[in-house]
Amino acid sequence: MKAPPEGRPNTAAPSTGFRVFFRTAGAGLLVSLLMLALALLLRSASFLVVGLAALSYTVLLCGILTVEYQRLTVTSVLRHSVATVRQPNMLTCTASGYRVTGPVLLSVEPLLPPYVIRRHSRKDDDGTTVFFDATRKGQYSLGSARISLQDPLGIFRIQRSVPSQLTLTVVPRPISLAAMHIALTSPLDGQRVRYAPNVDTSQLTGTHPYDGEPMNRIHWKMSAHTGTLVVKDFTPSASQTIILLVNYTVHLDTGFTLEALDDTLSTAAASILHYVHDRNLPFGLVAIGSHTDWTGTGRDRVHLLSCLTAVARAQAVQTEDPGIVLDWLNQNARVIPAQSQLVLLAHEMDETEVVHLLKQREHFARITIILFPEGTFLLPGEHQAPYYLKDTPRLLRLRSLQRVLRENGIELTIVGLNDPITTLASG
């Protein structure tokens, strides 16, 4: 996730040198001319010397400021273009075309958007480096800065703003999940292979000597008993493609903000994506919110980054369309691999939506529904709230259907205020 993008140099806006000069030196020229006029009226040598000195200083310094302003360019460099929440990052804004040894003082002040928090900064002769982190997932425009040029006495100053040149994508920080119920099928023709891309770890069939397999396959107890490294043998299996569908739409008013629900769904989605990627399972993402993103399917780290970027772009919205998820599934049934496992994250569902999913059950090997009716969950190490929220009649009806749904291949999990996410959708 490390990428040091460099923004294009940002030059001054097109304007004539005379316009910049007179805009900067206008007040100084007026004061100098008034002093010279007063010196002539009073026939005072002192006023004449001061007036000539002020006029010379104004013309000379404002001329230098104008030249430096027209030659000055600003380049922004971002250390990480993709980062997780609270990950330290660095933005450097550097001015070029500026004479460091000249009499003009330069100030470069990077401007950060909301949720991007400055921790500290380091100023150099030709720019500023800002150390920061982002407190919320999303896509942010960076590289904007306020440039100031002034004379040594601080009398004349030219300021301008540099527009944003870079984009920072902040993805949610994943949480390690203990287990998820992933549907597995036997390999074609029942053939056994020594190195299966996926194995059913619940079916231990034996051991064999270590031959470069992953460390998590080593049978440590048996290795200690025999004195040599041995590896576990599992039943080979071919895993279904995992399709993660995140519904960021809300139909009813909630007791929490859309931003809170957005963060909850995004954290859960990122955790599931990392879980299936770590197990080398093919996966795809559908994010339905202010806009709809479909990433396609894949299993490598580039595809994982594409899915996390889609999660970062997604935004929770309130809508009056209750069938937006079912409409997408009906219209895009052909792009989803046959017999995939559907994992649906949402705020709430009603019986009608569940019935429609039952009708589509034949298209999926398994359907997992995870609901967050209270908009949050219990983080690892977090203390439980001293109260519980009462289930709505809709949730009570859904809970009563959990057993029937499980018998029909639909796993329904309702995550409450004090429910930990580490056992999310465990089998």
The enclosing H or E element of 366 equals strand 364-371
Token couple for 164: 């944003």
Q: Does 194 score more than 50 pLDDT? A: no
Report the C-alpha gap between 213 and 230 in whole angstroms: 10
Where is pLDDT greater, at 314 or 195?
314
Distances (CA, A) of 290 to 294, 348, 379: 13, 17, 27
Beta-bridge partners for 110: 145
pTM of the predicted protein model: 0.74
pLDDT digits (tens, 9 = 90+) for 15-54: 566 676 667 766 777 777 787 787 778 777 887 888 788 7
Q: Does 171 score more than 90 pLDDT? A: yes
Report the C-alpha gap between 331 and 325 in whole angstroms: 10
Instruction: Tell me the pLDDT band of 303, cut-offs 50, 70 and 90.
Output: very high
Instruction: Tell me the pLDDT band of 237, cut-offs 50, 70 and 90.
Output: low
Where is pLDDT greater, at 360 or 199?
360
Instruction: Tell me the pLDDT band of 186, cut-offs 50, 70 and 90.
Output: very low
Token couple for 50: 């001061």
Q: Does 200 score more than 70 pLDDT? A: no
Q: Does 196 score more than 50 pLDDT? A: no
Report the C-alpha gap between 201 and 196 in whole angstroms: 12
Report the C-alpha gap between 421 and 176 in whole angstroms: 9
pLDDT digits (tens, 9 = 90+) for 245-302: 999 998 877 778 889 999 999 999 999 999 999 888 889 999 999 899 999 999 899 9
Distances (CA, A) of 87 to 46, 170, 208, 301, 344: 62, 9, 42, 19, 28
Instruction: Tell me the pLDDT band of 198, cut-offs 50, 70 and 90.
Output: low
Question: What is the rounded average pLDDT of the residues 72-81?
Answer: 89
Where is pLDDT greater, at 287 or 125?
287
Report the C-alpha gap between 215 and 76 in whole angstroms: 43
